[in-house]
Structure 1
Amino acid sequence: PVPVLAAGGIADGRGLVAALALGAVGVWTGTVWLTAHESPLVDFLKDRVIEATDEDAVISKIYTGKTARVLKNKYIERWQKPDAPQTLPMPLQNLYSPMPLFLSTEDSYSCSLFDKPGLREYATTAAGSAAGLIRQRKSVRKIMEDMISQAVEIIGPE
């Protein structure tokens, strides 16, 4: 048999158990790590992930030309208007829409651009529907411990 990993909307032990119950051998998680203390994502975007609902993660092509889930913001709202230009295929969309998709604390230049008043409303990050499950910053270790202990609590220690 081919091993299958489940992905999408998994950020806790409930998602892990559901994936295992459906036959997956493990899970592939993404959004849950954005708010980890160890993540280089800038603090104001970590806060936005924590405040997000599952409906705040929208599908868009405006950053790269490829379909991706991102947290909606004013920039995305403008691109979703009927009179907005069509997105270009990758890699051309990056030239047309140079907004960064991930603001890292290690990129001081890009971060400085969003320190100006009102511009943070245009910043976003790639994030899936799991954003609606994340309510606080934790260490990577704590995220793993919580996910595993919640899964064990649901299925039992055996």
Structure 2
Amino acid sequence: AGGHTGEIGSMSLIPQVVDAVGDTPVLGAGGMGDGRHLAAAMALGASGIWCGSVWLTTNESDCEDALVEKMLKASETDTARSRCISGKPARQLVTTYTKAWEEPDCPGFLPMPLQGLLTADAERRIRRHAAAGTPESAELLGTPVGQVVGMMKTRKPAGKVVYDFVEGYIDAVERLKSMLPED
């Protein structure tokens, strides 16, 4: 959750978890950005999905406008895994802040939750100054977000995101059904 990542991708992990837990319902997570992902996760045995990134650019999100604009312009390659926010590997927008933590003279990362405690004040200040329109702070502004950020191109209500998921799921399932031979 929140961009935290492991080493195993969803396409491999979901069926392994489904096989391991028997009849227990499983939610697929990680890289779930539209109805096609929902259909794929369900084809892999999941009962549904858990989404994170797609909510960050909704009208209801509490993300700063400058951050939403950065995400709407970002591609999937504008993210990287870093420990700079929490101490655990988390995929996030690449910023001058995240790049600074990867420099050779970086002091290194503390384990979770200490890294978050160390950086919390700086994160609050960056957000406050970015919200006030300070351009330098906007360049530092980032957030945990998955590679699906490259699919998030417009700000819209959360209800529309849900509607689009359902429509995309139906389209994906219908497309798959059309590939089957008729009885």
Normalising by structure 2, report the TM-score. 0.76
Normalized per residue, the structure richer in helix is: 2
2 CA distance for matches of 1:117 and 1:55? Answer: 23
Q: Which runs of 5+ in 1 are unaligned?
A: 104-108
Structure with bigger gyration radius:
2
Deviation at 1:87, TM superposition (A): 0.5
Q: Work out which of the residue numbers 129, 135, 140 in structure 2 matches 1:113.
A: 129
Q: How does 1:62-73 map to 2 (within 5 A)?
A: 62-73=84-95
- Asked if the contact 1:56/1:71 (under 8 Å) is kept, the reply is yes
Deviation at 1:9, TM superposition (A): 1.1
1 CA distance for matches of 2:71 and 2:135? Answer: 20
Q: Which runs of 5+ in 2 are unaligned?
A: 1-22, 178-183
- Calculate percent identity across the aligned residue pairs: 37
1:6 aligns with 2:28: yes
Deviation at 1:110, TM superposition (A): 5.9
SS in 1 for 2:80: strand
2 CA distance for matches of 1:35 and 1:147? Answer: 15
1:146 aligns with 2:168: no
- Asked if the contact 1:8/1:130 (under 8 Å) is kept, the reply is no
1:86 aligns with 2:104: no
Q: How does 1:45-84 map to 2 (within 5 A)?
A: 45-84=67-106
Deviation at 1:112, TM superposition (A): 3.3
- Asked if the contact 1:8/1:129 (under 8 Å) is kept, the reply is no
Q: How does 1:91-102 map to 2 (within 5 A)?
A: 91-98=113-120, 99-100=122-123
| Greater alpha carbon shift after TM alignment, 109-118 vs 6-15 | 109-118
Deviation at 1:118, TM superposition (A): 1.5
Aligned residues: 151
| Greater alpha carbon shift after TM alignment, 34-43 vs 80-89 | 80-89
SS in 1 for 2:162: helix
1 CA distance for matches of 2:69 and 2:129? Answer: 18
Moved over 4 A (4+): none
Normalising by structure 1, report the TM-score. 0.87
2 CA distance for matches of 1:97 and 1:86? Answer: 12
1 CA distance for matches of 2:154 and 2:54? Answer: 10
2 CA distance for matches of 1:110 and 1:86? Answer: 21
The match for 2:50 is 28
